Structure 1
Amino acid sequence: MNQTTQTQGTLRSEARIAHGGLHRLRQDLFVDAFAFRPMPPLEDAKVSRWVPWLPERLRHWARWLPHLIVGFFSVLVFLATYTMSYDIGPVKGLLVAGFCLLVAAPPALTLFRPVGAYWLSLLALGVSDFASAAFSSYASYFDGAAFPTLVATMVLVVLRTRPRLAVEMWLVTFAVAAVLTAVTSGDTGDLPPVAVFTGVVLISAAAIRAWREERRHVVETQTVTAEERSRRTLLEERATIARELHDVVAHHMSVIAIQAEAAPYRVENTPPELATSFATIRENAVAALTELRRILGVVRSEDPDAFVDSDPEAPQPTLASLDSLLDSVRGAGLTVDAVITGAPRPLPQGVELSAYRIVQEALSNALRHSPGADARVEISYVLGGIGLRIINGVPSRLAKPSPGAGHGVLGMRERVQMLGGEITADHTEDGGFEVAVFIPVSASAGETTAGGSAS
């Protein structure tokens, strides 16, 4: 009983496999067989990579090169089959010309209706076999052209669609060929070797198509991964900026709360309305500080940067701390000089912090990507803002590969854009790297900062 049940289960499994195979065969070769599926032109990147020496105008037309090659092949097939009919009468010539067109059209049709082109080429093979058997006087015109063109058409269809069509078309083709051979001549001696040869050709085409699909999938995956990495880095950088700006905003909010609390005691006989207003200001400032601390707990990073103090309560650095930063990178092996032009003056805390972080990130990149190179930091206090220029020379030894290449520049751009400034970061002519930044600072902001510091 168990053996019978097992046998029945095996038969049902095999039946399901066969049914699934027939269903895929029907979907691939019969459903919408003549649907319009045009082959797009080549991408500009591929054309530029394959024929970079072509002028720009010709490179645009080179995108249609595969279409031209397939169309030229169809023309060659038509001419090769039709040239033998030049010495026959007009009626026979018209019939042979129609047959030549039926044989030559499928390769070109694969550019627009690939599966339909296969069926048309298979029809041409059937017409060729029947005409050669029924009309011996036409045999010389019909023999030899249909089958090679059918094989070429099947290869083009596989390259245009999917690899599994190679097996499906091979099965259908040689099933039809076996029937045609049995009906017309009955001699199947050449059929097995031809079937093996055709199978090898189609499997090779399917392998090429599968390799192309896998390569495209890998490129898409790498592109998506790079985009996700950049997006994640951007979010992390924004969280870092938010954490750092918390200290700047918290300082000002604390000053507001203290001033609002002390203001009523500086005026004799303070009106109740004024005292209530100051109390409201202090309460709002304290509530804002509480919310800032709550948000800071969400965005705080657990992994501090290489040159950031590990103490979370430490004050945020400013350009006044630049000497300690330079000492740190010198201790890590980077030779760096600093030049300050203009009259140093107090800047808004957000500008000071961002300027410090930009210099820090640029020097970190120099350590990471240009080992052994010299670096130079230039800080210019100019009217209307502050300019930064960090430049490093050519590395003296090979740098270790870094998966985060370019993300430091991304963070610097985020900081500069937040402050409405401008940044350029690119390689220099001698092979080094330069970061140039300008951060605008209004005169009123500078005066406010100076006044706050003096108080």
Structure 2
Amino acid sequence: MTDTYEPRLRSEMRIVRGALDRLREDLFHDAFAFRPLPPLAADHRLVRVLPRRAARYARWFPHAALAAFTGLVMLATVSHEGGPVGIVAALLVGVPMLMTLFRPVGAWWLSTGVILCTSVALGPWSPAALFSHLFVMMVVTLRTRPRVAAEMWLLTAATGIFTGVFLQAFHPYYSLSGDMFQMMLLSGVLLFAVAAVRGLRETKQQVAAQVAVTEVERSRRTVLEERTTIARELHDVVAHHMSVVAIQAEAAPYRVQPTPPELAAAFQTIRENAVAALTELRRVLGVVRSENPDAFADPEAPQPTLEALPGLIENVRSAGLSVDHVTTGAVRPLPQGVELSAYRIVQEALSNVLRHAPGAGARVEVSYVLGGLGLRVVNGPPNRLAKPSPGAGHGVLGMRERVAMLSGEMTAEATDEGGYEVAAFLPVAPGGQGAAGEAAA
């Protein structure tokens, strides 16, 4: 039995010692440190709804409200007590309340000292002193850890018991149990309510911060997945051109007879470099390839171009979306990377219309201009409520990645009529080269 008792005793002593250490850290260590109450955040609801000039002052609303309330309490104390005694009592009540703005724990100690001294000198706790002390404890609970509320409550109870025992010695008719029980019950309920409100507010802030972090990570993952898709699609485009280079370099010496040794060696070097580039391209593609091999429906199928756009639009129409397709300018072949990205942008924009604007009509405009290719996909307002979509907005990220890859420009924004518009310009230098051509070649 002794062997079991000693470890339990040591464990209990460690718990008591830890509690005392936390009490010393919270209420004794650097108790009067300067900890000013910060102003309201710039994104606070009260600050956002006011004009800019008024919002600058609204950030200090908690400070002004506390100071005004303290002034009312001090005026009530002066009118109740009257004369010089009222002025002294008002100062003893008001100073700790104002002090919570700058030194919250120190304000509680000052309020406790006021209650202790006035109780010993003048008798039971006065209503003004009790109200001031409760207010100070509530403000300190809002500004510190929840456990500080319990520590203040326990020390206030100890102070009340001490003053009650002292008063009973000099005031036989003073009831310790009745006054103490009412005071501790009232303060306990108030402090618990304030601590619960503060804990709920902190929980909401943590949840909001976590949601923001999750959204950022989801957007980042979406961008990486889109880049992986782009890398695989560009592999087909670049591999085609490199294969043509290798075949032409291998066949060129047989077209020139007799072939000079230097020319044959140069063509052989070109072919070897092209084959090496293809090998490295496949190795890099293996690094960025999706872990799910079924993520691409048909890896061997050719990548779509703008020639396949009518088929895409017919497929969307069969899903119930009314789509108008307009092509302007002189239709001409464009670099494969440009046509592939244009097709994917239109595809994603129409998918977003189906997902987020059910029942709305859409219009697809493809413009062949001198400097490149213009795209515009616009839809009207939906005629029914769209189902929630966890990926809302991530398709736009993918479209921006494709446009940025080709050094183009893109806008995606709501229209005045309640619809949505996606507009992009993909530059193509004369002859199909330049920024877009380099991305595909």
Q: d(CA) in 1 for partners of 2:378 and 2:270?
A: 47
Query: Quick one: distance in 2 between partners of 1:22 and 1:447?
Result: 73
1:224 to 200, 210, 213: 213
Match of 1:136 in 2: none
**Residue identity matched to 2:286:** G
Q: CA deviation at 1:21?
A: 1.6
Match of residue 156 from structure 1: 139
Q: Structure 1, residues 318-357: CA drift from partner, whole Å, max 9, x if none?
A: 1011122112212222221211001111111111111000
Equivalents in 2 of 1:73, 1:222: separation in Å?
37
Cross-structure match for 2:394: 407
Q: 2:187 aligns with which of 195, 198, 207?
A: 198
Between the aligned partners of 1:224 and 1:357, the Cα distance in structure 2 is: 29
Q: Which moved more, 1:333-342 or 1:405-414?
A: 333-342
Q: Which moved more, 1:291-300 or 1:65-74?
A: 291-300
C-alpha distance in 2, partners of 1:81/1:154?
19
Is 2:280 the partner of 1:280?
no
Residue 383 of structure 1 and its aligned partner are, at CA, apart by 1.6
Which residue of 6, 9, 13 maps to 1:8? 6
SS at match of 1:190: helix
Letter of the aligned partner of 1:360 in structure 2? Answer: Q
Quick check: 1:147 aligned with 2:130?
yes
Count, aligned residues: 430
- Which residue is 2:154 aligned to? 171
Partner of 1:374: 361
Q: Counterpart in 2 of 1:389?
A: 376
User: What root-mean-square deviation, in Å, do the aligned CA atoms of Structure 1 and Structure 2 show?
Assistant: 2.3
The 1:20–1:257 alpha-carbon spacing in structure 2 relative to 1, beyond 3 Å, is same
Instruction: Report which stretch shifted further, 329-338 or 404-413.
Output: 329-338
Q: Which residue of 2 aligns with 1:351?
A: 338
- Residue 427 of structure 1 contacts residue 434 of structure 1 at CA under 8 Å; is this kept in 2? yes
Q: CA deviation at 1:53?
A: 5.0
Judge which range, 235-244 or 96-105, deviates more: 96-105
Query: Higher mean Cα deviation, 64-73 or 8-17?
Result: 8-17
The residue number in structure 2 matching 1:336 is: 323
Q: CA deviation at 1:97?
A: 4.2
1:203 Cα deviation from its structure 2 partner: 0.5
1:277–1:107 distance in 2 versus 1, CA, 3 Å: farther
Distance 1:447 1:420 in 2: 10
SS in 1 for 2:43: helix
Please show how residues 94-133 of structure 1 align to structure 2 within 5 Å: 97=87, 100-133=90-123
SS at match of 1:36: coil
Distance 2:289 2:220 in 1: 18
Instruction: Using the TM superposition, give the Cα deviation of residue 303 of structure 1 relative to its aligned residue in structure 2, in angstroms.
Output: 6.9
CA displacement at 1:68 relative to structure 2: 0.9
Residues 449 and 190 (structure 1 numbering): CA distance in 2 closer, same or farther, change over 3 Å? closer
The question of 1:428 aligning with 2:410 is answered no
2:71 aligns with: 75
Inter-partner Cα distance in structure 1 for 2:121 and 2:263:
110
SS at match of 1:230: helix
Q: Deviations over 1:81-112 (max 9, x none)?
A: 3345664xxxxx3x764553332122222222
Q: Structure 1 residues 397 and 195, CA, compared in 2 at 3 Å: closer, same or farther?
A: same
CA shift, 1:377, in A, is 0.7
Distance 1:422 1:299 in 2: 26
- Cα distance change on mapping 1:53 and 1:43 into 2, 3 Å: closer
2:260 — aligned with what? 271
Q: 1: CA distance between counterparts of 2:23 and 2:184?
A: 19
Q: Is the CA contact (8 Å cut-off) linking 2:406 and 2:436 kept in structure 1?
A: no
Counterpart AA for 1:122: T
CA contact (8 A) 2:407 2:436 kept: no
Structure 1 residue 41, shift from structure 2 partner? 1.3
What is aligned with 1:312? 299
Residue 154 of structure 1 and its aligned partner are, at CA, apart by 0.5
After TM superposition, the structure 1 stretch with the greater mean CA deviation from structure 2, 228-237 or 185-194, is 185-194
- Offset of residue 8 of structure 1: 3.3
The 3-state SS of whatever aligns with 2:231 is helix
How far did residue 252 of structure 1 move?
A: 1.6
SS of alignment partner, residue 397 of structure 2 = helix
Amino acid in the other structure paired with 1:392: N
TM-score in terms of structure 2 length: 0.91
Secondary structure in 2 matching 1:377? strand
SS at match of 1:424: strand
Question: Per-residue deviation at 1:169?
Answer: 0.4
SS at match of 1:426: strand
In the alignment, does 2:240 pair up with 1:257? no
What amino acid is the match of 2:102? F
Q: Kindly state the Cα deviation for residue 11 of structure 1 after the two structures are TM-superposed.
A: 2.9
In the other structure, the counterpart of 2:59 is: 63
Change (3 A) 1:240 1:448: closer
CA contact (8 A) 1:337 1:375 kept: yes
Deviations 1:51-85 (A, max 9, x none): 65532210121111011111222222333333456
Q: Does 1:43 align with 2:41?
A: yes
Q: What SS does the corresponding residue of 2:60 show, helix, strand or coil?
A: helix
For residues 318 and 7 of structure 2, what CA distance do their matches in structure 1 show? 74
Alpha-carbon distance in structure 2 between the residues aligned to 1:449 and 1:101: 77
Is contact 1:346–1:446 with CA below 8 Å preserved after alignment? no
Report the secondary structure of 2:392's partner residue.
Answer: coil
Contact 1:73/1:107 (CA < 8 Å) preserved in 2? no
CA 1:11–1:447: 2 relative to 1, 3 Å = closer
Question: Secondary structure at 2:36's aligned position in 1?
Answer: coil
| 1:435 counterpart letter in structure 2 | V
SS of residue in 1 equivalent to 2:127: coil
In structure 1, the gaps of 5 or more residues are 88-92, 134-138, 451-455
Instruction: Indicate conservation of the 8 Å contact 1:413/1:423, yes or no.
Output: yes
Which structure 2 residues correspond to residues 13-28 of structure 1 after superposition, within 5 A?
Answer: 13-28=11-26
Change (3 A) 1:44 1:268: same
1:106-142 deviations in Å (ceiling 9; x for gaps): 2222222211111111111122213314xxxxx9xx8
SS at match of 2:338: helix
Greater Cα offset, 349-358 or 293-302: 293-302
Are 1:41 and 1:63, in contact at CA under 8 Å, matched by a contact in 2? yes
Instruction: State the Cα deviation string for residues 422-448 of structure 1 (Å, max 9, x = none).
Output: 111112222211111111111132599
Match of 1:453 in 2: none
- Alpha-carbon distance in 1 for matches of 2:137, 2:375: 63
222-231 vs 244-253, which deviates more?
A: 244-253
